Structure 1
Amino acid sequence: MMKRNTLLALTLFMGFFTLSATAQEKKKASPAASVKETINSGATIGIDYSQPSVKGRKIGEEIAPYGKVWRTGANDATTFEVSKDVKVEGKNLPAGKYSVYTIPGEKEWTIIFNKTWKQWGTKYAEADDALRVTVKPEKSPAFTEQMTFKIEKSGKVTLLWGDKSVSFRVK
């Protein structure tokens, strides 16, 4: 009888931890992602971000509202790191690590590189902006459910999300 109670208690104990571990392995709603590339100018660009999903919502309205600063990702602030001084859309950006915010718009997006990079994504302070550039969004060639960044050797950095493609040049 004692052995059976001990065995039952041990089985329940192990079952609890198995369920707990399974629950923790559940896929995050906005998984972490990163991309890194050494571009033709010799600078290395790295972007660390979380990938929000469109989930049937309309970009510019229900998510990433037009005309408002958006954290450009989810969870912690998206970070953009360059190994040496570069020009982004022709404007100087010193080597270093930055958080990335955007102001989405129907006809143009403002890309913001903010000096405070280690922070929660919604803690934006304009006073800490290092650089702002304006670019034109395009219709993406294919729908991208989870926000994704791509970096080409040429220095073209592209954010793909839903039917949007937003690119800027780094040299």
Structure 2
Amino acid sequence: MTTPKKHIFLLTVLFLFTMTASVFAQDAPKPKASPAQTATGKVGAANITIAYSSPAVKGRTIWGGLEAYGKPWRAGANEATTFTTDKDIKVEGKTLKAGKYSVFMVPGETEWQVIFNTETGQWGTKRGGGANFDPANNALTVTVKPKKLDQLNERLVYDITNKGFSLKWEYVEVPVAIK
């Protein structure tokens, strides 16, 4: 037969074990709504890296809805998307010096602006909304034509090829030529 002290001790150990297990269960990491992604590739002699967060469509209208036409956007989610090149390159025929830039885009129904800004590391939007960049730090702005896609891209993705890079999200692809 066990004594009351042993019962209390066993109940206390059981209680502490249960509490510890529940505390650790609460600390389990949850998948991010817009996980961080990196696209890397080579265009000519230049090594290109695009670091971005990849949001999902989730049944929403993205272009002209969640992301308004004519307003600068952080070109991803969370922190501002970054673009790094280790060599000087020509983006849509205009020179971009080697370095690291934040990328912002201004979506439009028939054309988009792609903005390379020298400020990096900032959150992508300002408090109260709007893209978080100072236009005085724009190193280069180019205009490109979006393409309609037949298939839905649920998650935003950047692809780098030997001809440049493209953003694909929802039913839109935004190609940017690099030489």
TM-score by length of 1: 0.92
- Structure of greater Rg: 2
Report the equivalent of 1:161. 169
Following superposition of structure 1 onto structure 2, how do residues 1-171 of structure 1 map, counting pairs within 5 Å? Answer: 1-22=7-28, 25-39=29-43, 41-122=44-125, 123-152=132-161, 154-171=162-179
Offset at residue 84 of structure 1 (A): 0.7
SS at match of 1:3: helix
d(CA) in 2 for partners of 1:148, 1:60: 15
SS at match of 1:6: helix
Q: Deviations over 1:101-140 (max 9, x none)?
A: 0000000010000100111111211111100000000012
More moved, 131-140 vs 52-61: 52-61
d(CA) in 2 for partners of 1:61, 1:85: 34
What is the aligned-residue identity percentage? 44
d(CA) in 1 for partners of 2:62, 2:22: 41
SS at match of 1:102: strand
d(CA) in 1 for partners of 2:163, 2:123: 27
SS at match of 1:14: helix
Letter paired with 1:145: E
TM-score by length of 2: 0.89
How many residue pairs are counted as aligned between the two chains? Answer: 167
More moved, 120-129 vs 106-115: 120-129
Letter paired with 1:30: S
d(CA) in 2 for partners of 1:103, 1:132: 10
Letter paired with 2:64: E
Letter paired with 2:143: T
Structure 1 residue ranges without an equivalent (≥5): none
SS at match of 1:113: strand
Letter paired with 1:129: N
SS at match of 2:27: helix
Q: Deviations over 1:27-77 (max 9, x none)?
A: 1111110011122x2100000000111112212232121000011111111
Structure 2 residue ranges without an equivalent (≥5): 1-6, 126-131
